[in-house]
Amino acid sequence: MIKNLNLKYKILSILFIPFAGMLYFSYVFIYDKILIQREMENIEIYASYSVSISSLIHEIQKERGFSSGFLGSNGRQFGQNLKEQRLLTDREIRNLTKTIESSTASIIPEISYFEFEKFTSSLGILNEIRTSVDLLKINTKTEMEYYTFLTASLISMISELLYTNSDQQFTSMISAHINVLKIIENAGIERALLTDVFSSKTYPEDNRLRIQQLILEEKTYSNLFRSFATPEQYAFFSDNSTNENSIKVNEILKLALQNSPKALEIEPEYWFSLTTGKIDILRKVDFLISDDIMRMASEIRNKVNISAFIAISVTVIIVFVSSIVTIVLVNRIVIPLNVMVSTANSIYNGDLGKRIEINTGGEVALLANTINKMSDKLEKTIEDLRLNAQKLKISNEELEQYAYVTSHDLQEPLRKICSFSQLLANKYKGKIEEDADQMLDYIILGATRMQDLIINLLEYSRITTRGKSFEVISSEQSLNRAVENLQFPIERKSAKVTYDPLPDVLADDVQLIQIFQNLISNSLKFSGNKTPEIHISCEDKGDEVVFSVADKGIGIEEEYKERIFVVFQRLHTQKDYPGTGIGLSIAKKIVERHGGSVWFESIPGEGTTFFFSLRKTAFREYSGV
């Protein structure tokens, strides 16, 4: 049908594709901006209801503190405060429930509903917990754990703001907000713990340790807040964290950590009032960041409106200019273009000897000449590549045969050396000089290690040539097979191996098992004096998936980053960590055969995470060339 069209319409047809593509992408861009605009509107609403969540967290924290004081004093103190506080808590629960139920599904992410359902489910036993507190039939630890679970669920709901936008500045501000809430929560737990201590006039050791932990966590959250917050937010936080209330609270915490008798003389009402003052000041930071989040969402929405307007304007201009260009192309270079298109199609279809022949000048002739030169070079390059590929194929086959023959021929004399050395050792051990016994042991050990090296080297050389064809397999099943193969060393070290749900991938199932087995073995070997804890997870990266194998072992120094995947490169002595030093090299070569890559991140003394990627779609297999 196209052959019967006039050349002018052929050109129009050719130009229509990029023109339509341009319009399509303009439409997608504008539509995307509209979606972002709506998203920002929803975020503004979502940020506003996070204020309601924050208020409820505050009331639950106070109820937790009063309940702890009531239990610690055996009902002698905080009774009236607790009754009044429960009314305030119930009011905030009703307000939040009403706010969320009146919101549309597009405003609140699905996972927030999940967290809210966890929260409301836990509220089902709130009256039971309150009755147990009133009757003094519940211990402080259980009571605190219940209220702490409620606040954690609410903080998780606010955390979902992180998933509503990819803007780095926006997500940093949300992270700052979350860390402020965690600081406030820690202060609330401190308030409840020591209210119980000062009410009961007893100070169990686990309470002191918990206070110490809370102080350390608060420092961590403060540092995280500093890294995410804006300079203005952090300045406001610093100014409000050095007030008289905070200083007095820190002095009492210091007495408590020192297990000072003076700490038990502090009145619980005074402590409760003091820490509540500190928390109220921290809530000012909470409100400031909430306001900043809503302001930023509004600013992003306004920027998107401007971008959408510019995109529409640019699209109109491009349509106009494209129309002018189309007219020029149709009327001035129709015939030369037809010749070049025809010749280019011939070259594309394999006729590399085809050349453009036109009788015109200017840029069109220059273009034709350039295409002819490119065709000449392409033809020569393809021929050179074909010859080189053939030579490399022959070379690889020879190298594989050489590796096989060499390993086979070397193993036989090594077996004899091992056997006869062991016979000599068994027959003459203790009958000859002590140095001779030790030398025989060295011979046996060296021959055995060389056998392992040869076997591993042969395995390494055959990864690309003896591998199976790729097919869709369950990576989770491959992991389970690897764990089964390592059952003995896992049980021997009492290791804990966990994993997230893993996807199906396009791979060689035997070699995927080997990757998991080598990486898990590496984690088991280099666990140090710790009980190994290994976790395997996976992340979808578009056209590939990235697996991670994380441990809490001895870690790897940065200076060894380039050496660790090299064949037979070892970072430790054979005595400290036995092995051939080829396991990670084999894993790397298998991953490369699958078209992926392997790398690691490590903190010495804390652990190492190895990553490797596998493609999700078919590709030309790595040949080792």
Question: What confidence tens digit (pLDDT) does each residue in 196-233 have?
Answer: 988 988 888 888 888 889 989 989 998 998 898 888 88
Statement: residue 620 has pLDDT above 50: no
Question: What confidence tens digit (pLDDT) does each residue in 25-48 have?
Answer: 666 767 676 766 666 666 666 666
pLDDT for the residue numbered 105: 43
Inter-CA distances, 378 with 17, 338, 351, 353, Å: 27, 22, 12, 10
pLDDT for the residue numbered 155: 86
pLDDT for the residue numbered 623: 43
Residues 486 and 521: their CA atoms lie apart, in Å, by 8
Question: What confidence tens digit (pLDDT) does each residue in 109-120 have?
Answer: 554 667 777 888
Residue 449's nearest CA partner among 586, 585, 584, 575 is 575
pLDDT for the residue numbered 521: 87
pLDDT for the residue numbered 454: 61
Statement: residue 403 has pLDDT above 50: yes
Statement: residue 476 has pLDDT above 50: yes
Averaged over 50-58, what is the pLDDT? 84
Q: What fold, for 471-615?
A: Heat Shock Protein 90 (3.30.565)
Band (pLDDT 50/70/90 cuts) for residue 622 is very low
Band (pLDDT 50/70/90 cuts) for residue 296 is confident
Q: Where are the domains of the chain?
A: 49-297, 362-461, 471-615
Residue 65's nearest CA partner among 53, 77, 55, 50 is 77
User: Residue 611 in 3-state DSSP?
Assistant: strand
Residues 268 and 275: their CA atoms lie apart, in Å, by 11
Question: What confidence tens digit (pLDDT) does each residue in 362-395 have?
Answer: 666 677 677 777 777 777 777 777 777 677 666 6
For 369, other C-beta atoms within 10 Å of its C-beta total 13
- What is the residue-averaged pLDDT of the chain? 77
Answer for the pair 221, 177: CB distance below 8 angstroms, yes or no.
no
Averaged over 149-171, what is the pLDDT? 76
pLDDT for the residue numbered 625: 37
Phi, psi of 25 (to 5 degrees): -65, -30
E strands in 154-210: none
Statement: residue 569 has pLDDT above 60: no
SS3 per-residue string spanning 446-462: HHHHHHHHHHHHHHHHC
Statement: residue 158 has pLDDT above 80: no
